[in-house]
């Protein structure tokens, strides 16, 4: 059994070893759970992290063929298609994602980005103005809208959007740049020059930060985090089907890789609760809503890349 | 070298003056008999051309054929690598297309890398010069010409720095640069030391000649990438796979600007010109008059940081204004891994636009000039980014490949990392190049997959250049591929349209006419272009300007604004020929490329026959 093969081995110490473990686990998920959309989706994520985009996309398609309403698989296909520059398919898949997970913000922002890249400016405006949840703040949304209105020549609206972004983050470089372009076109050259000077300083600071990040970058830790996140999803799935021992083993493995892995911690806590009070309705806490699937360790979907939606990734 | 006036024979007249409306066949060089016997008749005035009434549609696709194997070019690029992954390795190299022997056939100069520590490959890689013999035959004349520099070649440009009638070469290396003076006899002399242009031990990039103060002598702008020595080498991995470090791992450096002192020397004016205050990570660059104020400005690609846009005040002092001009970042305000850049008037509004290549997961960027050098990133709304997002893109050539009057786009692709597929299969080290058709309605369409076997070649391309190598009126393409042989693409697009190619010669202006602005009017088709030296990805080409004329069989007007500010006009220039325009002269000359031979007839002069607008033939004698 792959689980014992993998999880009885020492914790991987190098990036290469982590990638090898990803491969083993992906194969296990693909063969042991061929009809589980959740596990196929997790296998796809592992393939994606390994850079195997073709295989990842195939797995997401397999998941869709089992459950065409599964939003995370549509999201995965959309990501791959966008990376390949196939904007039309990406847009279609993002729309499918949002159809089956209408509250998800991250795919919505990503769709906006792809629409802009595809030159569908009016569609992007419509999406970001009308479909975006009013309760969510997103600087990225404002800067994209600013960009759209700038393309349309609507300088007043573009300016408003960039100013809204800057009101949330005065150092947002995209907004500073966009606003400086608006000001130039509005004839406010002096103000634009001031913004440009400020932008240069902000960019220099960003570069310094990036250098520091690069200097301290722990690639092994990042890969370990990705694998641990998938383990968290697997553990949650196994717990949901009452495979408690396997779930525990895998959650422990996740924590070995990344001690603060939240999904794994939560799974272990739930297992303990289950053991302490067998009649407790722990499993009921697992929502069946597609926007909060048992395997979903993110709040807005399963993006293999990207962070919080408040800023452009 | 002097000009000898001869009369032309009737046969030659017919050949030269009958307007060609049919698809131009690949031109054959005229026989020497025809050229040499061009002595008897005189030409009348150019006939009054009648517009062709039947307008045929432009081809839906281009057709490029890979002729590399059959044209005698044996050059193999080396990056001097040994697996250590020095940052310099993937940057090499650009190339140069120019007519070094003034025979009317455009020659090729390839840059090469050099051994880096640990290298164990073939000994003594060096740059190579290939002389174009016509009929798609090229001869390696590196030894004879003396231009086989063994430095680590990165960027190159040519221009007639001493105004003696032939083009000289400047090579921007990692390490000391090299300046070759063209002796006019098929040989070059290394004048780096005497011109004072070695530029130290810097890591070079793009380079261009530009007459910054319009004094009639071209100056030299030398790009510098980063501060790198082997002691500063660092190792990087991505997802456990060895990768190259990037520019952010090193210190940015300013470029260097040399002023031509008109006495064979150059003075470093980086400080007073404002250039030395700008530390960047220069790769490709291009100079042009983007604000139509009569002097050349300079756009500089900076790798993973904001680009620079140097606005010339007319005296050779520059102000950096990329941010407020809209060319510092892409439309979303993100810095790109800017690689190469070319400029042309892509929408025929009279303003030079910019087209820039970049990195994987960024599209190429089309900066549309809104007027007076204020730009917008119009990539998304014009479809200009089609097909480029997954690839690292390098060389870029803006040229009218089907003679429909609109400049199209060729983009060279290929990843830095030869092992990228181990960590990311959304891209590839070797990649097919991209060609975009300009539809003339503000939109570009990716027609790569339908444009012949030449676009199916997958290599890791770097510099690319476009010129009419067979003088058939269609722009061909030459591409440098990292660690491999180059790719030579013959343009066989079955276009029904006519064309005109212009060679400009300055007199009061610099001889290469760098910075001259040209307006060509053919019916309702109005086109603008400018003479550049140094463009694309650290390359240079296109001194002979090419204009597609659609169905028009003549250009009713050609107007040249020379760098000095003088404006000359010529009227009723018949299509489908190479025409020479000289500053201050009312005649235009039809250039008939000479028949080349493999060996240089050093004692027996060869001639290029030119027919002027009044019908007199001129034969330019050289060597």
> Any idea what the Cα angle at residue A117 is, between residues B306 and B353, rounded to 5°?
55
Count other C-beta atoms under 10 Å from residue A31's C-beta: 10
Q: What is the pLDDT of residue B614?
A: 62
What is the length of chain A? 313
pLDDT at residue A189 is higher than 90:
yes
Q: What is the pLDDT of residue B617?
A: 60
Suggest the residue from B252, B324, B389, B448 to mutate for an interface test with chain A (most A CBs closer than 10 A): B324
Q: What is the pLDDT of residue A213?
A: 85
Q: Residue written as tokens 């604000």? A: B291
CB contact under 8 A, B390 and A203: no
pLDDT at residue A203 is higher than 70:
yes
CB contact under 8 A, A85 and B363: yes
* Three-class DSSP labels, B29-56: CCCHHHHHCCCCECCCCCCCCCCCCCCC
Q: What is the pLDDT of residue B27?
A: 36
Under a CB-based contact definition with an 8 Å cutoff, are residues B316 and B515 in contact?
no
Q: What is the dihedral of CA B319, B320, B323, B324, to 10 degrees?
A: 10
Under a CB-based contact definition with an 8 Å cutoff, are residues B268 and B256 in contact?
yes
Q: Which residues contact B464 (CB under 8 A, 6 or more apart)?
A: B95, B394, B395, B396, B397, B410, B411, B412, B433, B477, B478, B479, B480, B536, B537, B539
What is the H or E stretch that residue A150 is in? helix A139-152
Low-confidence ranges of chain B (pLDDT < 70): 1-56, 595-623
Q: What is the pLDDT of residue B135?
A: 93
Beta bridge mates, B253: B280
Q: How far is B322 from chain A (nearest CA, A)?
A: 9
Among the partner-chain residues A116, A117, A181, the one whose CB lies closest to the CB of B326 is A181
* Number of A–B residue contacts, CB under 8 Å: 110
The answer, for B349 touching chain A at a CB cutoff of 8 Å, is no
The H helix count followed by the E strand count for chain B is 7, 46
For residue A139, give both structure tokens: 């600087």
Radius of gyration of chain A (CA): 22
Q: Domains in chain A, start-ordered, CATH in brackets?
A: 137-217 (1.25.40.10)
CB contact under 8 A, B381 and A80: no
* Three-class DSSP labels, B192-207: HHHHCCCCCCCEEEEE
Range from A8-22, A79-93, B65-79, B246-260 carrying the lowest mean pLDDT: A8-22
Q: How far is A169 from chain B (nearest CA, A)?
A: 15
The answer, for B521 touching chain A at a CB cutoff of 8 Å, is no
Between A273 and B555, the more confident residue is: B555
Suggest the residue from B304, B332, B439 to mutate for an interface test with chain A (most A CBs closer than 10 A): B332
CB contact under 8 A, A53 and B425: yes
Q: How far is B456 from chain A (nearest CA, A)?
A: 18
> Any idea what the Cα angle at residue B34 is, between residues B29 and B35, rounded to 5°?
75
Under a CB-based contact definition with an 8 Å cutoff, are residues B376 and B442 in contact?
no
- CA dist B586 and B459 (Å) reads 47
CB contact under 8 A, B248 and A180: no
Per-residue pLDDT of A33-48, as tens digits, reads 999 999 999 999 999 9
Between A7 and A84, the more confident residue is: A84
Helix axes A71-83, A53-66, angle to 10 degrees: 150
CB contact under 8 A, A144 and B361: no
Under a CB-based contact definition with an 8 Å cutoff, are residues B63 and B455 in contact?
no
Helix axes A219-240, A244-257, angle to 10 degrees: 170
Which long-range contacts does A190-193 make (Cβ < 8 Å, 24+ apart)? Answer: A192/B324, A193/B324
Range from A11-15, A57-61, B153-157 carrying the lowest mean pLDDT: A11-15
Suggest the residue from B226, B232, B240 to mutate for an interface test with chain A (most A CBs closer than 10 A): B240
- CA dist B76 and B126 (Å) reads 10
Write out chain A residues lying below 8 Å of B421, CB-based.
51
Suggest the residue from A78, A79, A85 to mutate for an interface test with chain B (most B CBs closer than 10 A): A85
Cα atoms found within 13 Å of the Cα of residue B373, Cβ hemisphere only: 23
- CA dist B475 and B289 (Å) reads 24
CB contact under 8 A, B423 and A119: no
Write out chain A residues lying below 8 Å of B331, CB-based.
116, 147, 150-151
**Could you tell me the pLDDT band of residue A122, with boundaries at 50, 70 and 90?**
very high
Under a CB-based contact definition with an 8 Å cutoff, are residues B229 and B249 in contact?
no
**Could you tell me the pLDDT band of residue A257, with boundaries at 50, 70 and 90?**
very high
- B367 DSSP assignment: E
The answer, for B249 touching chain A at a CB cutoff of 8 Å, is yes
Write out chain B residues lying below 8 Å of A84, CB-based.
389-390, 426
Q: How far is B381 from chain A (nearest CA, A)?
A: 4
Comparing C-alpha atoms, which of B327, B346, B338 is closest to residue B397? B346
DSSP symbols for A67-112:
-TT-HHHHHHHHHHHHHTT-HHHHHHHHHHHHHH-TT-SHHHHHHH
Q: What is the pLDDT of residue A312?
A: 54
- B616 DSSP assignment: -
B249: region left, alpha or beta (phi > 0 left; psi from -120 to 50 alpha)? alpha
What is the H or E stretch that residue B78 is in? none
Q: How far is B15 from chain A (nearest CA, A)?
A: 48
The answer, for B333 touching chain A at a CB cutoff of 8 Å, is yes
- CA dist B333 and B268 (Å) reads 34
Suggest the residue from A22, A56, A176, A177 to mutate for an interface test with chain B (most B CBs closer than 10 A): A177
* Alpha-carbon separation of residue B233 from B87, B228, B309 (angstroms): 8, 8, 30
Q: Please state, rounded to an integer, the average pLDDT across all residues of chain A.
A: 88
CB contact under 8 A, B237 and A144: no
> Which chain A residue lies closest to B250 (C-alpha atoms)?
A211
CA quadruple A107, A108, A110, A114: dihedral positive or negative?
positive
Q: Which residues contact B551 (CB under 8 A, 6 or more apart)?
A: B21, B51, B52, B54, B55, B56, B496, B497, B498
Write out chain B residues lying below 8 Å of A210, CB-based.
248
- B535 DSSP assignment: B
Write out chain B residues lying below 8 Å of A178, CB-based.
333
ipTM for this prediction? 0.84
Q: How far is A304 from chain B (nearest CA, A)?
A: 13
- CA dist B288 and B517 (Å) reads 9
In the sheet that B408-413 helps form, which strands lie side by side, from edge to edge? B393-399, B408-413, B434-438, B444-446
Strand locations in B47-201, DSSP E?
Answer: 64-66, 95-98, 107-110, 128-134, 137-140, 152-159, 168-174, 178-182, 188-190
């Amino acid at each position: 059994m792959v689980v014992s093969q993998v999880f009885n081995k020492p914790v991987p110490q190098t990036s290469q070893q982590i990638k090898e473990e990803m491969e083993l686990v992906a194969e296990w998920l693909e063969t042991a759970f061929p009809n589980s959309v959740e596990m196929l989706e997790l296998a796809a994520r592992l393939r994606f992290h390994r850079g195997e985009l073709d295989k990842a996309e195939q797995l997401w398609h397999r998941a869709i063929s089992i459950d065409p309403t599964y939003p995370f698989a549509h999201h995965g296909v959309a990501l791959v298609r966008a990376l390949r520059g196939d904007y039309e398919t990406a847009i279609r898949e993002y729309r499918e994602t949002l159809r089956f997970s209408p509250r998800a913000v991250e795919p919505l922002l990503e769709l906006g980005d792809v629409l802009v890249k595809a030159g569908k400016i009016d569609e992007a405006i419509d999406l970001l103005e009308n479909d975006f949840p009013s309760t969510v703040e997103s600087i990225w949304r404002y800067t994209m809208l600013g960009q759209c209105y700038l393309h349309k020549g609507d300088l007043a609206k573009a300016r408003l959007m960039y100013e809204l972004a800057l009101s949330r983050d005065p150092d947002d470089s995209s907004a500073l740049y966009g606003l400086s372009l608006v000001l130039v076109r509005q004839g406010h050259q002096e103000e634009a020059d001031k913004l440009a000077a400020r932008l240069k300083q902000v960019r220099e600071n960003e570069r310094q930060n990036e250098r520091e990040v690069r200097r301290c970058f722990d690639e092994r830790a990042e890969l370990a985090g990705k694998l641990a996140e998938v383990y968290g999803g697997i553990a949650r799935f196994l717990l949901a089907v009452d495979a408690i021992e396997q779930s525990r083993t895998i959650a422990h493995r996740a924590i070995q890789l990344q001690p603060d892995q939240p999904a794994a911690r939560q799974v272990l806590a739930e297992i303990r609760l289950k053991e302490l009070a067998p009649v407790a309705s722990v499993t009921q806490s697992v929502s069946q809503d597609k926007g909060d699937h048992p395997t979903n360790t993110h709040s807005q979907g399963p993006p293999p890349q990207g962070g919080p939606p408040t800023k452009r990734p | 070298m002097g000009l000898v006036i001869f009369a032309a024979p009737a046969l030659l007249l017919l050949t030269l003056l009958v307007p060609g409306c049919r698809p131009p066949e690949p031109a054959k060089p005229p026989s020497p008999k025809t050229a040499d016997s061009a002595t008897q008749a005189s030409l009348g005035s150019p006939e009054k051309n009648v517009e062709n009434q039947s307008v045929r549609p432009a081809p839906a696709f281009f057709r490029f054929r890979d002729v590399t194997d059959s044209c005698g070019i044996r050059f193999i690029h080396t990056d001097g690598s040994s697996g250590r992954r020095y940052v310099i390795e993937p940057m090499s190299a650009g190339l140069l297309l120019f007519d070094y022997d003034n025979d009317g056939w455009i020659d090729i100069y390839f840059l090469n890398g050099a051994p880096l520590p640990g290298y164990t490959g073939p000994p003594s890689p060096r740059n190579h010069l290939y002389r174009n013999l016509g009929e798609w035959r090229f001869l390696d004349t590196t030894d004879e010409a003396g231009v086989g520099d063994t430095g680590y070649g990165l960027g190159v440009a040519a221009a007639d720095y001493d105004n003696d009638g032939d083009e000289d070469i400047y090579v921007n290396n990692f390490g000391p640069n090299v300046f070759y003076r063209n002796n006019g006899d098929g040989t070059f002399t290394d004048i780096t030391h005497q011109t004072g242009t070695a530029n130290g031990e810097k890591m070079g990039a793009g380079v261009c000649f530009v007459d910054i103060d319009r004094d009639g002598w071209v100056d030299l702008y030398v790009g510098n990438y980063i501060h790198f020595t082997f002691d500063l080498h660092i190792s990087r991995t991505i997802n456990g796979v060895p990768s190259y470090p990037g520019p952010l791992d090193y210190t940015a450096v300013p470029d260097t600007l040399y002023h031509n002192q008109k006495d064979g020397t150059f003075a470093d004016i980086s400080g007073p010109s404002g250039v030395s205050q700008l530390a960047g990570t220069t790769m490709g660059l291009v100079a042009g008059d983007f604000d139509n104020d009569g002097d050349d400005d300079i756009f500089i690609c900076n790798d993973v940081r904001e680009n620079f846009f140097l606005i010339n005040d007319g005296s050779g002092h520059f102000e950096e204004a990329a941010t407020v001009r809209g060319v510092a970042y892409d439309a979303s305000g993100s810095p790109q891994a800017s690689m190469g850049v070319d400029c042309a008037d892509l929408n025929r509004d009279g303003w030079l636009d910019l087209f820039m290549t970049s990195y994987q997961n960024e599209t190429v960027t089309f900066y549309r000039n809104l007027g007076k050098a204020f730009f917008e990133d119009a990539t998304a709304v014009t479809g200009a980014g089609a097909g480029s997002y997954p690839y690292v893109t390098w060389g870029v050539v803006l040229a009218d490949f089907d003679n429909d009057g609109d400049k199209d786009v060729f983009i060279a692709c290929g990843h830095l990392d030869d092992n990228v597929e181990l960590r990311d299969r959304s891209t590839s080290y070797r990649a097919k190049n991209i060609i975009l058709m300009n539809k003339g309605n503000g939109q570009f369409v990716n027609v790569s997959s339908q444009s012949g076997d030449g676009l199916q070649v997958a290599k890791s391309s770097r510099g690319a250049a476009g010129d009419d190598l067979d003088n058939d009126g269609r722009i061909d393409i030459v591409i440098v591929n990292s660690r491999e042989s180059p790719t030579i693409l013959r343009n066989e697009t079955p276009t029904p349209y006519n064309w005109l190619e212009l060679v400009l010669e300055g007199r009061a202006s610099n001889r290469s006419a760098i910075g001259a602005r040209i307006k060509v009017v053919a019916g309702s088709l109005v086109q603008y272009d400018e003479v550049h030296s140094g463009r694309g990805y650290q390359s240079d080409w296109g001194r002979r300007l090419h204009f597609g004329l659609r169905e028009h069989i003549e250009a009713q007007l050609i107007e040249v604004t020379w760098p000095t500010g003088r404006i000359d006009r010529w009227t009723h220039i018949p299509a489908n020929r190479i025409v020479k325009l000289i500053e201050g002269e009312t005649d235009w000359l039809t250039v008939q490329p000479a028949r080349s031979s493999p060996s240089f007839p050093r004692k027996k002069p060869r001639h290029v026959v030119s027919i002027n607008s009044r019908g007199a033939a001129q034969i330019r004698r050289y060597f």
